[in-house]
Homo-oligomer: A and B are copies of this chain.
Amino acid sequence: MEILSGVYQDMTTGAPITLFIRNRDADSRPYEILRRLFRPGHADYTYFKKYGHFDFRGGGRYSARETAARVAAGVVAGKILEPLGIKVMAYTIELGGIRATSIDLDFVEKSSLFCPDPKATEKMEEVLSRAKKEGDSIGGIAEVRVTGCPAGLGEPVFDKLDADLAKAVMSVGTVKGVEIGAGFEAARFKGSENNDPMTPEGFGSNRAGGILGGISNGDEITLRAAMKPIPSINQEQNTVDREGQPSKLTFGGRHDIASIPRIIPVLEAMVRIVLADHYLRTKATT
A105-B139 Cα distance, complex, nearest whole Å: 31
Residue of B nearest to A257 (CB): B191
Give the contact stretch, choosing among A82-90, A106-114, A166-174.
A166-174
Contact assessment for A233 and B8 in the assembled complex, using a CB-CB cutoff below 8 Å = no
Contact assessment for B190 and A40 in the assembled complex, using a CB-CB cutoff below 8 Å = no
Given contacts A43-B213, A286-B50, contact A200 B138 (CB under 8 A): no
Tell me if A228 is interfacial: C-beta within 8 Å of chain B: yes
Residue of B nearest to A270 (CB): B158
Residue of A38, A55, A66, A280 contacting most chain B CB atoms (<10 Å) = A55
A66-B187 Cα distance, complex, nearest whole Å: 22
Tell me how many chains of this kind the complex includes. Answer: 4
CB-contacts of A79-136 with B (<8 A): 94, 96-97, 131, 134, 136
Residue of A20, A165, A178 contacting most chain B CB atoms (<10 Å) = A178
Residue of A14, A43, A157, A158 contacting most chain B CB atoms (<10 Å) = A14
Contact assessment for A284 and B281 in the assembled complex, using a CB-CB cutoff below 8 Å = yes
Smallest beta-carbon distance A224→chain B, Å: 8
Contact assessment for B199 and A240 in the assembled complex, using a CB-CB cutoff below 8 Å = yes
Contact assessment for B164 and A217 in the assembled complex, using a CB-CB cutoff below 8 Å = no
Given contacts A46-B151, A184-B176, A284-B281, contact A198 B40 (CB under 8 A): yes
Contact assessment for B187 and A139 in the assembled complex, using a CB-CB cutoff below 8 Å = yes
Smallest beta-carbon distance A99→chain B, Å: 10
Q: List 27 A-B contacts (CB under 8 A).
A: A4-B20, A8-B54, A41-B196, A41-B212, A42-B212, A46-B152, A46-B212, A49-B151, A62-B213, A136-B190, A137-B192, A158-B168, A160-B171, A171-B214, A173-B213, A176-B186, A177-B178, A177-B187, A186-B227, A187-B226, A187-B228, A191-B231, A194-B228, A197-B238, A197-B239, A200-B245, A283-B284
